[in-house]
Amino acid sequence: MLKTVKINKKYFKNLDLSKISSPSYVIDTKVINDNLKIFHKLKTDTNVKILLALKAFSLKSLLPIISNVLDGVCASGLNEAKLGKKYFGGLISTYSPAFRDSEFDDIIKCSQHVTFNSISQINKYKKLCVNKNIDVGIRINPLYSEVEVSKYNSSNLNSRLGVHINQLNKIDFSDIKGIHFHSLCEQNFDALENTWNKIWPYLKNVVKNLEWINLGGGHHITRSDYKLSKLTNFLLELKAKTNCQIILEPGEAVVFESGILVGEILDYIQGDNNKIPNIGITDISPVCHMPDVIEAPYRPMLMNEPLKGKRVVLGGPSCLAGDIIGEYYFLKNPKIGDKVVFLDQAHYTLVKTNFFNGINHPEIVLWNSDNNDFKIIKSFDFKDFETRN
């Protein structure tokens, strides 16, 4: 079970839930701007480049705001690269475990950096990139990570992501401009420092050939307890030591704490206080609306949950037996029509929603907590389900 990151419960306390349709994602643009101020200071203090990881958050309505501060995007393939070029601009850095011949010409039309996952992919596509003045990068597997959940650990021995760090001597670094690694997931600075200390002995004879080093994502920079001053000093030292442009690719941290998912109780089934639990059926399906609850798994935080009270299992409306959000406390048994709100639901939700069982996506609402402005930017209906394929 993935641990739930502690988040600031003060956000969204002034939101009038009676004005919000159910279900809805609500994103507070003030929180995003507050997060961007942290990134702006980091960029100013260190001169690093910071890219938005579109795999975590790609809501095009907010990309212009984010692009005012960040330097570009990292894309995981052709569609994200096209989205980044159209709505964000700046540096488009594209990486894939394996590129397709039919898409590659379009990928290099959109990208300034293309990072390859293997020696064979470099050998296949490097010349095409060099001929178009596209920077070539290679992803390495540090074979070290402090990520506890195996499916989120991209740096284990059996990972398909990156060339093993101890195989660097097999790479011809002529025409290779950069190194990329990604070994973090919702982690503080220490995990990055420990990873770097493991890989530096392998890289110190290689960096003279490089122009940039991409430290990937998973840095929880906007979390209140993140060791930002240590990161700042580390980045300055790293740049001086390597003489390379340093790049970060945060995703979650850019929109951390900025979104909630609002739903309501559709039915309540009273248990027997023994073997049969109290059950609340909601219009939020973790399978459809927040798949990481199923995939990770993890327990999202419920707004205003007391430390003890009536225990209720909350689940979704789909026919999947495992469509369960989790077990929560309520001061009193919830009633049909009561609203429930799950915190920190901007990242890895909108990008993963699906139409299983024909269940509609939640409405997407932008809210500014400074002036209480609402804007519904997307509602879904049968047409969206019908035209999905």
Which pLDDT tens digit goes with each residue over 12-35?
A: 989 999 999 999 999 999 999 999
Q: Does one domain contain both 338 and 353?
A: yes
Task: Note whether residue 232 is domain-resident.
Answer: yes
pTM given for the model: 0.95
SS3 208: helix
Cβ neighbour number for residue 98 with a 10 Å cutoff: 11
Q: Does one domain contain both 245 and 277?
A: no
- Of 47-56, 87-96, 256-265, 270-279, give the lowest mean pLDDT range: 270-279
Strand partners, 27: 259, 366
pLDDT exceeds cutoff 80 at 136? yes
Q: Does one domain contain both 245 and 265?
A: no
pLDDT exceeds cutoff 70 at 67? yes
What was the pLDDT predicted at 385?
96
Q: Which residues contact 243 (CB under 8 A, 6 or more apart)?
A: 207
Domain boundary among 211, 229, 255: 255
Q: Does one domain contain both 278 and 362?
A: yes
Q: Does one domain contain both 246 and 265?
A: no
Tell me which of 70 and 274 has the higher pLDDT: 70
| Contact (Cβ atoms closer than 8 angstroms) between residue 51 and residue 84 | no
Residue pLDDT, tens place only, 252-301: 999 999 999 999 999 999 988 677 889 999 999 999 999 999 988 889 99
Q: Which residues contact 251 (CB under 8 A, 6 or more apart)?
A: 52, 53, 54, 55, 56, 57, 217, 347
Indicate the average pLDDT of the chain: 94
Q: Does one domain contain both 345 and 198?
A: no
Q: Does one domain contain both 129 and 225?
A: yes
Average pLDDT over residues 329-337: 95
- Residue 197: give its domain's CATH number: 3.20.20.10
| Contact (Cβ atoms closer than 8 angstroms) between residue 53 and residue 251 | yes
| Contact (Cβ atoms closer than 8 angstroms) between residue 49 and residue 42 | no
Q: Does one domain contain both 89 and 213?
A: yes
Q: Which residues contact 218 (CB under 8 A, 6 or more apart)?
A: 147, 182, 183, 184, 185, 186, 187, 250, 252
Task: Note whether residue 35 is domain-resident.
Answer: no
Task: Note whether residue 4 is domain-resident.
Answer: no
Q: What DSSP designation does 302 have?
A: B
Give residue 343's domain range: 17-26+258-386
* Amino acid letter for position 264: E
Q: Does one domain contain both 104 and 211?
A: yes
Task: Note whether residue 12 is domain-resident.
Answer: no
**Which stretches within 47-179 are classed as H helix?**
63-67, 78-87, 101-110, 119-131
Domain boundary among 255, 281, 298: 255
Domain count along the chain: 2
Cβ neighbour number for residue 118 with a 10 Å cutoff: 16
Task: Note whether residue 41 is domain-resident.
Answer: no
Residue pLDDT, tens place only, 150-162: 888 999 889 999 9
pLDDT exceeds cutoff 70 at 3? no
Residue pLDDT, tens place only, 345-379: 999 999 999 999 999 999 999 999 999 999 999 99
pLDDT exceeds cutoff 80 at 126? yes
Task: Note whether residue 152 is domain-resident.
Answer: yes
What was the pLDDT predicted at 1?
45
Residue pLDDT, tens place only, 168-208: 999 999 999 999 999 999 999 999 999 999 999 999 989 99
Domain boundary among 239, 255, 271: 255
Mode of pairing for the β-strands spanning 363-368 and 339-343: unpaired
| Contact (Cβ atoms closer than 8 angstroms) between residue 222 and residue 32 | no
Task: Note whether residue 168 is domain-resident.
Answer: yes
Q: How far apart are CA 294 and CA 265, in angstroms?
A: 20
Torsion angle of C-alpha atoms 38, 154, 289, 70, degrees rounded to 10: 30
Q: Does one domain contain both 320 and 215?
A: no
Inter-axis angle of helices 228-242 and 189-203, to 10 degrees?
10
Strand partners, 24: 262, 363
Tell me which of 198 and 4 has the higher pLDDT: 198
Q: Does one domain contain both 227 and 272?
A: no
In angstroms, the Cα distances linking 345 to 122, 148, 293, 322 are: 37, 22, 11, 20
pLDDT confidence of 8, banded at 50, 70, 90?
low
Q: In the chain, what percentage of residues exceed pLDDT 70?
A: 97
What was the pLDDT predicted at 148?
85
- Residue 264: give its domain's CATH number: 2.40.37.10
Task: Note whether residue 36 is domain-resident.
Answer: no
SS3 333: coil
Place of tokens 């939640």: 362
